[in-house]
Structure 1
Amino acid sequence: MTMTNLTFKAIAAAAVIGTAALTVAPPAEAGRGYRGGHHYRGGGGGDALAAGIIGLGVGAIIGSALTPREVYVTPPPPPRAYYGAASYGGPEPWTPGWYRYCRALHGPYFDANSGYYQGGDGGVYFCR
């Protein structure tokens, strides 16, 4: 049985968190905290600082392990001279008539935000 990369990273992150939680726990000390009728605040600030630094490190490890490696970015529309109305006889791009034309022609495969559609061959093309 093989583990995916994300599953392995999640298990490793859980192990690091568990180890950090056990390491940061302060030991119990008898008699600490009260001296001669006054409450004593002994050096607990260093423990909080250490816990914060460890928490920051664990967060960085988990964040980098769960970050996607590939991000798809829609290509920008081609330059205006490339898809002018005179070259193909259709409606002028980015007009309401052009949106209706492309939606009617390509249906759900047309992305109105980018002006591209997915062709039958799997390629991505600008609607003209």
Structure 2
Amino acid sequence: MNRLAKTFLLTATAAALTLSVIGEASARDRWHRHHNGDAALVGGAVGLATGLIVGSAIANQPRYYEEPRYIDPPYEPEYEAVPVYRAPPRYYAPVRADIEPWTPQWERYCSYRYRSFDPRSGTFVGNDGREHFCTAG
């Protein structure tokens, strides 16, 4: 039988015994006034028995104890290197002293050498903030 059902059955039996003894003791008291101590003694014994039964049923319930467990620290993802786009290097012919201004080679050289080169005026903006004419050589 289930433990809970056993406990309930024993408690109900103890309660029925208690009620029947109390009823008999009170009936006896009406007719026989000299046995007052016996009824109290029987009621106390029945109450003690009931308390023992209910208390042992409560004490015998299974206890659930979960052992503490070690929890690993949170997972730290490994970061992958993000590919960085780098423009391929631009190669140009070495500086030659014989490049004449306003020729296609001169324009190509100056545009590779200076990012601020203006092919219409032939100038670039230097680090000093002024415009300079591009000379290849």
TM over 0.5: no
Q: TM-score, normalised by structure 1?
A: 0.41
Higher relative contact order, structure no. (Cα contacts within 8 Å, ≥ 6 residues apart): 1
Q: Which of structures 1 and 2 has the bigger CA Rg?
A: 2
Q: Which has the higher strand share?
A: 1
Q: Which has the higher helix share?
A: 1
Q: TM-score, normalised by structure 2?
A: 0.39
